[in-house]
A = this chain, B = another copy of it.
Amino acid sequence: MKILSSLNIGENNVERLEKKFDCVEFYMYKDIEQAGDHLEDAEIFVTFGFDTTADLIEKMKKLKWIQCMSTGIDMLPFETLKERNILLTNVTGIHGIPIAEYVMAVILNDRIDGFRLYEQQKNKIWKRKMNFEEVFGKTITILGTGTIGKEIARKAKAFDMKTIGVNTSGKPVDYFDEIFPTCELNKALSQGDFVVDTLPLTHETKKILGKEQFASMKDSAYFINIGRGATVDEGALIEALQNHIIRGAALDVFEKEPLPQDSPLWTMKNVSITPHISGLSNMYMNRAVPIFEHNLKTYIEGKEDYINKVDLNKEY
């Protein structure tokens, strides 16, 4: 059974898996361009998903299972996968810790006006007159209460913040003081001093944050997006930032990535741009490979207890 990987999951992991599962032959490349003939033979495909186009699937005649080693799968060709009845699994759940660390980093950097302090240092300026507002007692509204949202809420509680979550049903979740169902989104947004978007991109979440939603927020609100760029109407966000409808934003994801050179976001004083890195971490493979390993055993043994099997109709 041939496995093709278009990413480096570690030589040690490959060796271990080949030893553990006799029937398995591993072909691991840095990217899909180098895969050559193995495209046609591979039954299992391990990928970050960016390379997984309908054309590629077309060429992978024997493909039965895609293990996506990321969480966001919105770029995958779902129609093709459905036609071929290809199994799709991902690694949802492993991003909670690094992304929550990133979110608290940008919130606290905003709190201490870190970039201004950095510029002062570059100019050897000792100036103590600053308006510091503690995050203590502030409210954080988190869209999505899955692994990522919950981990952010957990950390926010250690800063004595009030945590508000938004999820489909409005059901209670640990570490959240209050939960609103999606139909009360604007009400939840109106309370947040910080608003964090952790949403995946689905039919339901596409441009869920538009002009009306930014208008619902406090004018002192700081918006953070580590979910998917397309959950936001980026034009409406830019307008809200330019017209001070909200105070500022830290954005790690965008409608189009890399963020185009001509995007006004790059140079806006109240916007912090990072290149979709919030989920990256030295611990990534340590958490992702065990999920693949479990699923590989399940696949070989013909069982059904996959971790993170994606419903191709719901697309999550």
Contact = CB atoms under 8 A, between A and B. Distances in A.
A283 interface: yes
Interface stretch (A165-173, A239-247, A274-282): A274-282
A155 interface: yes
Contacts of A49: none
A97 B259 contact: no
A270 B107 CA distance: 22
B101 A112 contact: yes
B158 A121 contact: no
Contacts of A115: 115, 118
Interface stretch (A57-65, A71-79, A126-134, A181-189): A126-134
Interface residues of A, number: 51
A247 to B, nearest CB: 15
B275 A134 contact: no
A157 B125 CA distance: 34
A135 interface: yes
Interface string A111-145: 11011011011001111101111111100000000
Nearest to A258: B126
Contact of A132 (B117, B258, B280): B280
Given A121-B273, A134-B101, A128 B158 contact: no
Given A158-B154, A158-B157, A280-B128, A108 B101 contact: yes
Contacts of A127: 275
Contacts of A134: 97-98, 101, 281-283
Interface string A74-105: 00000000000000000000000110011011
Q: How many copies does the complex hold?
A: 2
Given A109-B114, A277-B128, A135 B101 contact: yes
Contacts of A105: 105, 108-109, 111-112, 114
A97 B112 CA distance: 13
B275 A136 contact: no
5 contacts: A101-B111, A104-B108, A117-B277, A132-B277, A155-B159
A201 to B, nearest CB: 19
Given A132-B280, A136-B101, A275 B120 contact: yes
A109 B111 contact: no
A21 interface: no
Nearest to A276: B128
A272 interface: yes
Contacts of A29: none
Given A104-B108, A134-B101, A283-B134, A261 B157 contact: no
Contact of A124 (B157, B159, B266): B266
Contacts of A160: 97
Contacts of A102: 112
Given A157-B158, A283-B136, A275 B128 contact: yes
Interface string A259-299: 10100001000001111110011110000000000000000
